[in-house]
Structure 1
């Protein structure tokens, strides 16, 4: 029996087994402490692997989070558009960016992933994804007066969730087939009010 074979006790054997162990540990850690407080090192420790292996399989922490949630698209494709939008145009920009993804070829697995996120995973993961990844920068930008950023961004998210259910799950007309620009003009101002208007 090889002594060297026993020396690698910190790594799980088998490529797929290692990857799944990391994903399981990541889901548990993200649900427990949130995205910001979960470190690659703590996830690696929980999975009994070297932190370098986590980076090898998944790259950045956000990429690991995307994989843990089984999302078929990197959230950064939408977040970059929101970051570049002027504050006074954020409502319509959110609608355009999100609907463009939903209506694209990856739209079906994206919607399925979000449905699964809400029904099969710990709800804490869904909250963490929404508050600490999707809405984090928006929450900071709309925090006026100070302390209202979370309330504003969650109100906006509730509008998006309703739109997702109406357009993609229930397929209620005319919203189900309404062009993106028309929906952006119709729904965008509501989201804009949540983000920058009077919410008292």
Structure 2
């Protein structure tokens, strides 16, 4: 009698029910450690033990994978398209209006919850990666005047936007928490515009 024993499988594992969550966990850790630009889908797939094609199957692009990793309910590129099309002189107001539109939308609570979770968990590297490499990277390329000033400019913008997010939606300090969007834009956008294109001396 011949007994056939099942040989252990080798190679990358196929998609299993827990594979998606494994990919997300690996992606979250790698994005936090190395940032968006220096993290490749191939490296994420290798550590997760799957093929790169499976990562793309589940999540699409690397940007979409990052969005899923930090649990945002919408792809920020859809919001940032209008910012990319804005005139340089209107960049501050357009950026602020686009971000406020997300915070105050039907997905706003999920967005705030994602950031609140990262803050409370001490995972601030993902927040900085999101702000600097997703939201503000393309803007930095447009405001590097004088040359070399872009990093400071976008850091100042990030500080203003992060402070507004925390004050309005996490601490919920009044009157800012209930202030109409138009009034916030009128009050804050000039400061953002100065950070982006004004004299910083």
TM-score with structure 2 setting the length: 0.91
Partner residue in 2 for 1:177: 178
Q: CA deviation at 1:121?
A: 5.7
Q: Which structure shows the higher helix fraction?
A: 1
Give the 3 Å change call, closer, same or farther, for CA 112–37 of structure 1 in structure 2.
same
Distance 2:60 2:145 in 1: 35
- 2:115 and 2:64 mapped to 1: Cα distance? 17
Corresponding residue for residue 198 of structure 2:
197
Q: Deviations over 1:86-138 (max 9, x none)?
A: 11101111121111111111111111111112232632222222111111001
Corresponding residue of 1:119: 120
For 1:177 and 1:122, the matched residues in 2 are separated by 28
Give the unaligned 5+ runs of structure 1.
Answer: none
* Aligned partners of 2:116 and 2:170 also within 8 Å: no
> Could you report, residue by residue, the CA deviation over 1:142-165 in whole angstroms, capped at 9, with x for unpaired residues?
111111111101101111112112
Larger radius of gyration: 2
Work out the number of aligned pairs and report it: 198
Superposed, which structure 2 residues align to 1:12-51 within 5 Å? Answer: 14-15=16-17, 17-51=18-52
Contact 2:157 2:195 in 1 (8 A): yes
Which residue does the alignment assign to 2:58? 57
Residue number in structure 2 paired with 1:168? 169
- Alpha-carbon contact 2:27-2:69 (below 8 Å) kept: yes
Q: Deviation above 3 Å: which 4+ runs of structure 1?
A: 5-9
Q: Compared with structure 1, are the counterparts of its residues 2 and 89 closer, same or farther at alpha carbon in structure 2 (3 Å cutoff)?
A: farther
Q: Identify unmatched segments of 5+ residues in structure 2.
A: none
- Supply the distance in 2 between the matched residues of 1:164 and 1:26 (Cα, whole angstroms): 25
Deviation per residue, 1:11-70 (Å, 9 max, x gap): 15622x111111111112212221111111111001010111000111000000011111
Deviation at 1:167, TM superposition (A): 1.6
Partner of 2:157: 156
Answer whether contact 2:72 2:114 (CA < 8 A) is retained: yes
CA RMSD of aligned residues (A): 1.8
